[in-house]
Amino acid sequence: MATIRNQFLKSGLAGLLLLGMGNALAATIDFAGLPTKTSITSITTAVTNVSISATGGKGEAWVFNTNSPTGNDTDLGAPFDRIGTTAIESYRPGNVLIIQDSRATVPNDFAGGGILSIVFGEKVTLESLNVFDMNAGSIIKLFDETGLLRTVSLGNSEDVSCGSGCRRNRYEHLVFTDARVTSFELHLAGSGAIGDIQFSAVPIPAAVWLFGSALLGLAGVGYRRQGARVEGLA
């Protein structure tokens, strides 16, 4: 019986250790390799499955290739400079996500605004993301299982003039602090896109690790008692 109990405790502790390893997982959604002429509704990552939906325009989220802009969307063509800096960064994100214009047959972001919704299969820690060509008044709403967690205002990252006949496209990099969310919404005041969504699994609470330590202690005590009984019988 003691042997069975010890095996059970060790198995339970091993399970906790595996959970801890799982919570170290992180993922980045960069929309690489996805088709560009169809609605994107879900993505599978190493952390969890992600559901995607859109309101406005065609009511669909499409992938847009910034290296080869379509639909006359030159303001979403790479390279991009980061707002808030004077340096010319020339960032090339590759694929990004847009709200598709209902009048277009090729990827073309809707100029009338709308909402891109990202729903995670489990609670995650949202680390960072990039937004492109945002109009003033655009926001991000973060949600957890209780409802709205907080609202983040976005800067104006529309393209700007760099001289006669020259335009520089721009983006904003957002880093979140303690953003443990089940979903978020990008509310676009006009056209724009999102990319490079980085998140990780929520760490196991300290109480669970304490419970695991207690299991290990019990396993050790049981093992010592079993050994003492064997010696006594000898």
Per-residue model confidence (pLDDT) at position 87: 76
* 119 contact partners, CB below 8 Å, separation of at least 6: 50, 51, 52, 53, 182, 183
For 47-51, 94-98, 150-154, 208-212, which range has the lowest pLDDT when averaged over its residues?
208-212
- The whole model's pTM is what? 0.80
Burial class for 209, CB neighbours closer than 10 Å (0-12, 13-18, 19+) = middle
Band of residue 36 on the pLDDT scale cut at 50, 70, 90: very high
Band of residue 44 on the pLDDT scale cut at 50, 70, 90: very high
How far from each other are the two terminal CA atoms of the chain, in whole angstroms? 19
DSSP string for 184-231: EEEEESSS-EEEEEEEEEPPPPHHHHHHHHHHHHHHHHHHHHHHHHHH
Cα 217 to chain centroid distance, Å, stands at 38
| For helices 206-233 and 2-22, angle between their N-to-C axes, nearest 10 degrees | 160
- Could you tell me whether strands 80-82 and 167-175 are parallel, antiparallel, or unpaired per DSSP bridges? parallel
Per-residue model confidence (pLDDT) at position 229: 52
Provide the residue ranges of all domains of the chain, joining segments of one domain with +: 1-23+203-234, 26-202
SS3 14: helix
Dihedral of the alpha carbons of 157, 158, 161, 166, in degrees to the nearest 10:
110
Q: Are 131 and 154 in contact, with CB atoms under 8 Å apart?
A: yes
Average pLDDT, the chain: 85
Per-residue model confidence (pLDDT) at position 165: 80
- Tell me: pLDDT of 212 over 90: no
Residue 21 CA to residue 30 CA, distance in Å, equals 24
For 6-10, 84-88, 109-113, which range has the lowest pLDDT when averaged over its residues?
6-10
pLDDT tens per residue across span 152-191: 999 999 999 988 888 899 999 999 999 999 999 999 999 9
Residue 146 CA to residue 144 CA, distance in Å, equals 5
Residue 157 CA to residue 202 CA, distance in Å, equals 31
**Stronger pLDDT, 215 or 135, i.e. the higher one:** 135
**Stronger pLDDT, 220 or 208, i.e. the higher one:** 220
Tokens for 32, please give them: 């690489």
- Tell me: pLDDT of 222 over 70: no
Per-residue model confidence (pLDDT) at position 86: 78
- Select from 43, 73, 93 the least CA-distant residue to 194: 93
Say how many residues make up the chain.
234
- Select from 132, 28, 35 the least CA-distant residue to 79: 132
Arch. (CATH architecture) of 26-202: Sandwich (2.60)
* 115 contact partners, CB below 8 Å, separation of at least 6: 54, 55, 56, 99, 185, 186, 187, 188
pLDDT tens per residue across span 51-104: 999 999 999 999 999 999 999 899 999 999 999 887 777 899 999 999 999 999
